[in-house]
Structure 1
Amino acid sequence: MTQSNKSHVLSYGDAFVDYIATDTTNTSFSMFLGGATVNVAVGVARLGVPSAFITITGDDATSEFVRGELEAEEVTMEYAILEPEKRVSGVYVHLTEDHDRIFHQYIDDAPHIQVGAEDLKEEAFKEASVLNLCSGTLFQPKALETSRKAVEYAKKHGAMLSFDANIRPLRWNSESECRETIKSFFKDADLLKFTEEELTFLTETTSMQEGLEAIAELKVPIILITAGAEGTYAVLNGELQHVPVQPVIPVDTTGAGDAFMAGILRYVHLNGLPKTMDSLVECTAFANHLGALAATKAGALTAMPRLSELNI
C-alpha cells in the first residue's frame, strides 16, 4: 500500500543538461539530461512509482529536449512551468583517474527565471506521498522562497519531506550562506541525506559522529550518510547502523547518489517511512544496490536502473 494512498512522489528543482567528459582527459564531452532532482524524478519513474516534477523550461531546442526526455520517461510534467525566455542550465562534468566526477563549470544564462511560489499548484502536494528537495536551487532567492512554500504545502497536506544536501559549492556566494540556508530546512525534514563531507561542512565539525551530535536536537527521524564503496550509515531516531554495499567496478559515479535516493523514495512511497532499524536497513540496502549499479555505466540517467532490470 502506498503511503497514505497518495498517488505520486513529487520533486522540485532545476532541469539540467550534463556535459560529461568521455574519458579522463576531459577534452571531449557528451550531452545528457541531468540535474539531481531530474535524476531522482526519472529514477523513481523507472522503478515503477508515479513521479511528478516541478521545474521551469523555455522555448529553445535544449528545453524541448529536456521536456521530451522527461515525458518519454513518464515523469508527470503537468505541474511544471513553461516560460519562453528561460534557458536550461548546464554543467561540465570532469572525470578523475578514479572515475569520480568533478563539477567543473556551470552554465546558467537565465538564473533569475525560476518557478515562483505563486506558480505552485497545491493539488500537486495533496497527492504527493513525499516531496523531494535538494540544495541545487536554494542559492537563488526566488527559488529559495518557492522551496519554502513547497515545504509549507507538503506539511499542510501530509507529504513527507526528503532533503538531499547535494552541495555544489561553486553555486554559492559564500560558505556561510550555503551552510545556513541548507540547515534551515532540517527542522522540517523527515529524511536527510548527506555525504560525510557534507555533514561535517554543514555542522562545522570534523567527524560524522560529531556532525550527528550537532544536529541531534532537531530529532530528524531518518538520516542517511552515503560513503561510496563503503555503503551507507543509516540513522533512525539517533541509532546508527552501517549498511554495506556489494563492491562493483566503477565506470562513472555521476548520478549514483541520485539512484540511491530514487530507491529510498520508492520504498517510502510503497511502505511509508521506516519505523524500525530492520526496515531502514532493508530500504537502505536496496538503495545501495541501485547506487552501485548506476556507477557501473557512464552518465547519470543512462545508468539509472529500471525495475525490469532488478530481481525484486
Structure 2
Amino acid sequence: MVNTKHVLTYGDTFVDYIATNAANDTFERHLGGATVNVAAGVSRLGVPSGFITITGDDETSAFVRNELLKEGVDLTYAIKVPEKRVSGVYIHLTPEFDRVFSAYVNKTPDLQVASDELKPKAFENASVFHFCSGTLFHPKARATTQKALKLAKEYDVLCSYDVNIRPLRWESEDLCRKTILDFLSSADIVKLTTEELAFLMETERMEDGITQLSHNHIPLVFVTDGENGTYAVCKDQTFHVPVIPVQPVDTTGAGDAFMAGILRYIHLFGLPKTHQEVIRCTDFGNKMGALCTTKTGALTAMPRIEEIEKNKD
C-alpha cells in the first residue's frame, strides 16, 4: 500500500549570509537552519515533507518560503505573521578561506509559532514528527513543542529528536542541559553527537553516557561520531556502523543529512525491529551524511535520492 503520510518537522528558518571574499564585504544568501535542512533533505529523498515554522511579510521571508517550496516542502501548516523577521547568520572567510561564524541576528525572537496555532490535521497525516533543541530556549517555543509532542502521541506519530545543541542560545549550560534532558523521554528516535552525549550525561566515557541515556527508555538512539561512524542503540544493544571513507570538503549539515536519511527509512519501513534493520537504517543515514561532506554548504550539499542510488556499494 502506498504511504500517503508526510514527515512533519517543526523549527526556525535561518538565512545564511556567506562571505564571497576574504575582505568579508560581499555575501551570498542561502536558506539555512537544522530543521530546514532536514525538511528539505527528506523531500530530496522522495518523501512528502511538511514544515511548521513562522515567517514575516518582508522580502527575506518571501525568499525563505520560495526556497522551501522549490525544495518541495509543504508549508500548509506554517504561520505567517507580518512583523516576524527571519534570523540571519553571518559567516566570514579567513585569508585561508576557512568559514567562521561571525554574527547571529534575531530581531524578533519573541515571535514564535504559538501552541494554539498547531493544526491537528498536520499530525493526523504524519508518519514522523521531527524537532530539534534549537528553539527550546524560548518559553513560547518550548510550550509549542510540548503541545506538538502531545498531538503526535494522540495520532500515534513517531517522535524524532535531534539534540543539536547550540550553546550560545542558552542562558547557562545547566539550563540547556536540563531543558534538553526533559524532552528525551518523549522521543522515539534521538540523535546526538559523541560531544553532545558527553555534555548531557556529564561523562567522557561513551559507554557510561549510553548507559545513563538508556534510563530514558528511548526505542532508538543514534550517537554519531563523524568519520568513525555511528553507534546505534536499540533494545539495550549497541551496534557500531562504520561509514565509507570519503574526501570531505565541508562537514556543515552532515548531521542534518544523516537525520534526513534516518527519517526516510522510518517513514518507509517503520522503526527497525531486528539487528539487520538497525544496521540498514543507520547505514543509509551514514551514507547521506558522508555524501553531504563532499560538497560545500549545508542545504546546497544535501544529497538527492539519485546520488544515493548511484553510490550504492
Q: Mark yes or no: TM-score above 0.5.
A: yes
The CA deviation string for residues 7-53 of structure 1, in whole angstroms up to 9 with x for no partner, is 10000000111223557x58464321010000000000000000000
Name the amino acid aligned to 2:225.
A
Cα deviation per residue 1:124-165 (whole Å; 9 max; x = unaligned)?
A: 001111000001111111000000000000011000010000
Compute the displacement of 1:258 (Å): 0.5
Is 2:233 the partner of 1:212?
no
Shift of 1:308: 2.2
Choose 238-247 or 256-265, whichever is displaced more.
238-247
Which runs of 5 or more residues in structure 1 are unaligned? none
Deviation at 1:203, TM superposition (A): 1.2
**1:181 is the counterpart of 2:192:** no
Provide the C-alpha distance between the structure 1 equivalents of 2:278 and 2:285, rounded to a whole number of angstroms. Answer: 11
Partner of 1:153: 151
**Can you list the C-alpha shifts for 1:187-246, whole angstroms capped at 9, x where unaligned?**
111111000110110111122111111122211111101111111111112211111111
Residues 287 and 308 in structure 2, CA contact (< 8 A), matched pair in contact too: no
Give matches, 1:12-51, under 5 Å.
Answer: 12-21=10-19, 27=24, 29-51=27-49
Aligned to 2:64: 66
Aligned-partner Cα distance in 2 for 1:201–1:78 = 37
Give the Cα separation in 2 of the matches to 1:148 and 1:193.
18
Question: How much has 1:59 moved relative to structure 2?
Answer: 0.6
TM-score, scaled relative to structure 1: 0.94
RMSD of Structure 2 on Structure 1 (CA):
2.0
Report if aligned partners of 1:47, 1:266 keep a CA contact under 8 Å in 2. yes
CA distance in 2, matches of 1:180, 1:102: 29
2-side partners of 1:20 and 1:14: how far apart? Answer: 19
Secondary structure at the aligned position of 2:17 is classed as strand
CA distance 1:175–1:157, shift in 2 (3 Å) = same
Q: Find the partner of 2:252 among 251, 254, 258.
A: 254
SS of residue matched to 1:136? coil
Alpha-carbon offset, residue 271 of structure 1? 0.1
- Length, aligned pairs only: 309
**Kindly tell me: are residues 192 and 26 of structure 1, through their superposed partners in 2, closer, same or farther at Cα, counting changes over 3 Å?**
farther
Q: More deviation in 27-36 or 44-53?
A: 27-36
Cα 1:64–1:161, aligned 2, differ >3 Å: closer, same or farther? Answer: same
Q: How far apart are the structure 1 equivalents of 2:120 and 2:52? A: 12
Matched residues in 1 for 2:7 and 2:247: separation?
31
The SS at the match of 1:150 is helix
- Identity, % of aligned positions: 58
Alignment of 1:71-220 (within 5 A): 71-93=69-91, 103-220=101-218
Work out the CA distance in 1 between the residues paired with 2:96 and 2:213: 33
CA contact (8 A) 2:227 2:245 kept: yes
Question: Match of 1:254, SS?
Answer: coil
Deviation at 1:105, TM superposition (A): 2.7
Unpaired stretches in structure 2, ≥5 consecutive residues: none
CA distance in 2: counterparts of 1:141 and 1:170, whole angstroms: 16
2:289 maps to 1:291: yes
Structure 1 counterpart of 2:265, from 261, 264, 267: 267
